[in-house]
């Protein structure tokens, strides 16, 4: 291995001369006496999620599970979207009508591992429709895990509008609950994870909050109940 | 030479900053606004103290076993298809990044905000090789266009107002409408249009790292604008540079830091975007991932048993916003990538007291920084520890003159007097008698002779007519 690697490890070990040789990492006690689950009733969690999303300038609607497709179509019309990209495994009944729907799939016959739409192609698209892996009520966060209904990371980044469908059973109360849900997919398959809380924002100029700097300007969350 | 060595000592730089009323206005507004918002969102969390303690303990676990975790991280990243590079210092880190960029034959890269590459002066090093690094965070872009220095960890361009930023965009960006106003919305939109072309076409992205999970090899960038997502997902090649202390042991541990960081930093329940990626993912994001592990003085900090805790830092900037010194002088006076209370300890620990010996004194030791620190770094304790080292250094460096300096002799004498009740009481009695020509209006404003320097900045209360001990003895 590299000389730099050897030298840095040697420096670390000599800097830690005070740590007893027999000490194991787990000997350093970490008390996890913080909250790790929130057993409030689902209705309360959903209400909290809605309030927190709105607080950070996302739009939220609660819709009946059977009417998600209609709600997506209506949202597309209201937001003035003409072409939308959808996550590869978006359920067929969530597909909007009245707009051009572009699938995010590699060209037929493309090399294995090829991506779907290019970034420039996505730049010509008005919005993206996806599901999610979980939603955190306390922080108003949507969790995407890069697969299936969540779509590739780029599709929820480049277009200016993001419509995200959250199943009510996907709503958890606290950050630790969402992290725990993601653990198997990250540990076993190394899926990329994105946590989204409201639209893109910046407060860099005189602390004035501006929405829509680089990521989507509008985030609409549909909670399917 | 380090930044701190090129820079004037803190008291000198602070005097310049204090005379800048625009700077003081901007900083006062920024620090007070964020401070109040932080207090609100922290108060919402009933288990905040438990989270802080867990955040501290996890960092202690990592630091005491850093060699173990570095190796675990390395093998996890490799197993997930990433490459790992080790850099002893800034120069080596910059060379590694430059070599990777050059190997892909590009002369332009997009970069998301990274204090670590600010510390290593990566952009300058790349420029020397003919590679243009575009900063994509709005504030970092403003700093870069103005050839300026960041003045705050979270909002680096807080010393600039909207009119100055408009001027800068008008003169430095080529695609700006001539009727651009100074509305922050319009300014941000201008940056968005300018950067979007780069995001869509640049093949190499560079980022910093907020947390790297040793167990899974997962690396994260925590941000607000989406430029971090752009840099870490759209390019074919991603290079992430991290200090070796940015490790957390396990995936689960993110549950602690993803609560502590946003609330302490931007004072939000959660920041708009957090990206967490593990090596490369087929069909999604970069095809090549390089992780650069940088030492650059961190093992020196690790070797200092009192100073080691400075490596807990998750770069939230809460300590800046509560610091009475930072609030008035701003970040530039510290002459370092890391300003404020954390900078006052981290900079001398990283680069040595010879370069940054004045920074441990850039504090009133009020302790507000320790109270808000989400990973419980006892900054005042480290400041005092470094002051002690600075005094010993100057004594050793000054030979017999150093050992016999007035301050040193006075402190020695005082220590003897304070340690002995009879001497102490005698000193009080003689002080009471000797002070009368100096007391005016109930305080001493000017001390004579060599002590004048001390009283030029502060008033001294006179020795009271009766001491507590006298009163206790004489009480009926």
Option in A18, A29, A192 nearest B305 (CB): A18
Please check whether residue A81 is in contact with residue A161, taking contact to mean a CB–CB distance below 8 angstroms: yes
Q: What is the pLDDT of residues B291-331, one digit of tens each?
A: 999 999 999 999 999 999 999 999 999 999 999 999 999 99
Q: What is the pLDDT of residues B196-250, one digit of tens each?
A: 999 999 999 999 999 999 999 999 999 999 999 999 999 999 999 999 999 999 9
| Res. B417: pLDDT tops 80 | yes
For range B1-15, the mean pLDDT: 76
Q: Do A152 and B256 touch (CB under 8 A)?
A: no
Count residue pairs from A and B with Cβ separation < 8 A: 266
Residue A10 to residue A142: CA distance in whole angstroms: 42
Residue spans of chain A under pLDDT 70: 1, 108-114
Closest CA to B119 of B336, B335, B285, B280: B336
Closest CA to A222 of A50, A97, A43, A78: A50
**Whole-structure pTM value:** 0.93
Q: Please provide the average confidence, as pLDDT, over all residues in chain A.
A: 94
Tell me the chain A residues in contact with residue B137 when contact means C-beta distances shorter than 8 Å.
204
Q: Which residue of B has its CA nearest to A192?
A: B277
| Contacts with B335 (C-beta within 8 Å, 6 or more apart), sequence order | B3, B4, B6, B7, B8, B10, B13, B356
**How does DSSP assign B6-50, residue by residue?**
HSPPHHHHHHHHHT-HHHHHHHHHHHHHHHHHHHHHHHT-TTHHH
Which DSSP helix (H) or strand (E) runs through B235?
none
Residue B72 to residue B65: CA distance in whole angstroms: 11
Q: Do A190 and B80 touch (CB under 8 A)?
A: yes
Option in A31, A158, A213 nearest B54 (CB): A31
Q: Which residue of A has its CA nearest to B219?
A: A192
Tell me the chain A residues in contact with residue B268 when contact means C-beta distances shorter than 8 Å.
56, 197
User: How are beta strands B211-213 and B218-223 bridged, if at all?
Assistant: antiparallel
Q: Do B269 and A139 touch (CB under 8 A)?
A: yes
- Put simply, whether B306 touches A (Cβ < 8 Å) is no
Give the pLDDT score at B397.
Answer: 77
Chain mean position to CA B327: 14
| Contacts with A46 (C-beta within 8 Å, 6 or more apart), sequence order | A62, A137, A168, A171, A223, A225
Window 385-424 of B, Cβ < 8 Å to A: none
Q: Which residue of A has its CA nearest to B68?
A: A25
- Put simply, whether B250 touches A (Cβ < 8 Å) is no
Tell me the chain A residues in contact with residue B303 when contact means C-beta distances shorter than 8 Å.
14-15
Residue bearing the bigger pLDDT, B394 or B429: B429
At B1, is the pLDDT very low, low, confident or very high (cuts 50, 70, 90)? very low
- The owner of tokens 């602390």 is A207
If 0-12 CB within 10 Å is exposed, 13-18 middle and 19+ buried, where does residue B144 land? buried
> How many alpha carbons lie under 13 Å from residue B18 in its C-beta half-sphere?
10
Q: How far is A21 from chain B (nearest CA, A)?
A: 10
Tell me the chain A residues in contact with residue B272 when contact means C-beta distances shorter than 8 Å.
56, 196-201, 215
Give the pLDDT score at A169.
Answer: 96
Tell me the chain B residues in contact with residue A123 when contact means C-beta distances shorter than 8 Å.
196, 200
Window 88-127 of B, Cβ < 8 Å to A: 88, 92
Q: Which residue of B has its CA nearest to A187?
A: B216
At B2, is the pLDDT very low, low, confident or very high (cuts 50, 70, 90)? low
- The owner of tokens 């040789």 is A21
Give the pLDDT score at A1.
Answer: 52
| Res. B365: pLDDT tops 80 | yes
Structure tokens at A90: 């978006």
Which 3 state secondary structure label does DSSP give A190?
coil
Which 3 state secondary structure label does DSSP give A38?
coil
Q: Please provide the average confidence, as pLDDT, over all residues in chain B.
A: 93
Q: How far is B452 from chain A (nearest CA, A)?
A: 41
- Put simply, whether B68 touches A (Cβ < 8 Å) is yes
Option in B227, B251, B277 nearest A192 (CB): B277
Residue A86 to residue A125: CA distance in whole angstroms: 11
Q: Which residue of A has its CA nearest to B138?
A: A204
Which DSSP helix (H) or strand (E) runs through B268?
none
């Amino acid at each position: 291995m590299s000389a730099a690697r050897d030298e840095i490890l040697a420096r670390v070990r000599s800097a830690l001369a005070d740590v007893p040789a027999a000490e194991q990492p787990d000997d350093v006690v970490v008390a996890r006496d913080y909250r790790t689950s929130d057993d409030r009733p689902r209705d309360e969690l959903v209400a909290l999620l809605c309030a927190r999303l709105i607080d950070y300038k996302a739009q939220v609607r609660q819709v009946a599970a059977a009417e998600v497709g209609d709600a997506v179509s209506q949202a597309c019309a209201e937001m003035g979207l003409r072409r939308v990209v959808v996550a590869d495994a978006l359920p067929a009944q969530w597909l909007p009508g009245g707009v051009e729907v572009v699938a995010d799939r590699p060209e037929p016959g493309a090399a294995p591992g090829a991506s779907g739409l290019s970034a420039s192609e996505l730049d010509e698209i008005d919005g993206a429709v996806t599901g999610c892996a979980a939603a955190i009520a306390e922080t108003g966060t949507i969790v995407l895990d890069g697969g299936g209904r969540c779509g590739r990371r780029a599709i929820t980044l480049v277009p200016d509008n993001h419509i995200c469908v959250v199943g009510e059973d996907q709503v958890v109360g606290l950050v630790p609950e969402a992290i725990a849900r993601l653990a198997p997919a990250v540990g076993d398959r190394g899926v990329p994870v994105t946590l989204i809380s409201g639209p893109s924002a910046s407060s860099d100029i005189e602390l004035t909050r501006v929405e829509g700097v680089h990521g989507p300007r509008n985030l609409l969350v549909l909670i399917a109940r | 030479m380090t930044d701190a060595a090129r820079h004037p000592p803190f008291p000198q730089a602070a005097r310049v900053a204090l005379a800048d009323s625009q700077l003081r206005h901007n900083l006062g507004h920024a620090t007070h606004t964020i401070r109040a918002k932080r207090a609100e969102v922290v108060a919402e969390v009933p288990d905040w103290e438990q989270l802080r303690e867990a955040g501290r303990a996890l960092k202690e676990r990592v630091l005491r076993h850093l060699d173990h975790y570095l190796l675990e991280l390395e093998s996890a990243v490799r197993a997930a298809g990433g490459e790992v590079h080790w850099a002893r210092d800034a120069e080596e880190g910059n060379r590694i990044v430059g070599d990777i960029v050059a190997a892909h034959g590009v002369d332009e890269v997009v970069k998301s905000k990274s204090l670590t590459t600010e510390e290593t002066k990566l952009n300058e090093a790349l420029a020397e090789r003919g590679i243009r690094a575009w900063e994509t965070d709005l504030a970092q872009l403003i700093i870069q266009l103005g050839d300026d220095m960041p003045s705050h960890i979270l909002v680096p361009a807080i010393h600039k107002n909207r009119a100055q930023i408009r001027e800068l965009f008008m003169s430095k960006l080529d695609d700006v409408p001539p009727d651009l106003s100074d509305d922050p919305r319009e300014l941000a939109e201008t940056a968005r249009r300018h950067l979007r072309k780069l995001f869509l076409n640049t093949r190499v992205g560079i980022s910093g790292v907020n947390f790297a999970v040793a167990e899974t090899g997962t690396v994260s960038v925590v941000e607000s604008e989406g430029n971090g997502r752009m840099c870490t997902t759209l390019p074919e090649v991603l290079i992430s540079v991290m200090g070796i202390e940015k490790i957390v042991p396990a995936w689960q541990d993110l549950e602690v830091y993803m609560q502590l960081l946003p609330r302490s930093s931007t004072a939000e329940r959660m920041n708009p975007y957090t990206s967490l990626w593990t090596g490369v993912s087929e069909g999604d994001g970069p095809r090549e991932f390089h992780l650069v592990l940088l030492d650059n003085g961190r093992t020196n900090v690790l070797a200092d048993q009192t100073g080691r805790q400075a490596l807990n830092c998750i770069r939230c900037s809460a300590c800046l916003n509560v610091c009475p010194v930072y609030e008035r002088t701003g970040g530039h006076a510290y002459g370092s990538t890391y300003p404020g209370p954390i900078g006052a300890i981290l900079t001398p620990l990283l680069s040595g007291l010879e370069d940054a010996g004045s920074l441990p004194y850039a504090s009133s030791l009020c302790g507000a920084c320790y109270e808000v620190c989400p990973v419980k770094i006892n900054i005042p304790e480290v400041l005092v520890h470094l002051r002690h080292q600075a005094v010993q250094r100057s004594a050793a460096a000054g030979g017999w003159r150093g050992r016999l300096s007035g301050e040193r002799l006075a402190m020695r004498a005082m220590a003897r007097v304070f340690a002995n009740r009879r001497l102490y009481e005698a000193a009080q009695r003689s002080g009471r008698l000797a002070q009368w020509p100096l007391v005016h209006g109930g305080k001493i404003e000017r001390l004579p002779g060599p002590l004048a320097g001390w009283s030029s900045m502060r008033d001294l209360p006179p020795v009271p007519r009766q001491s507590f001990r006298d009163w206790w003895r004489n009480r009926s």
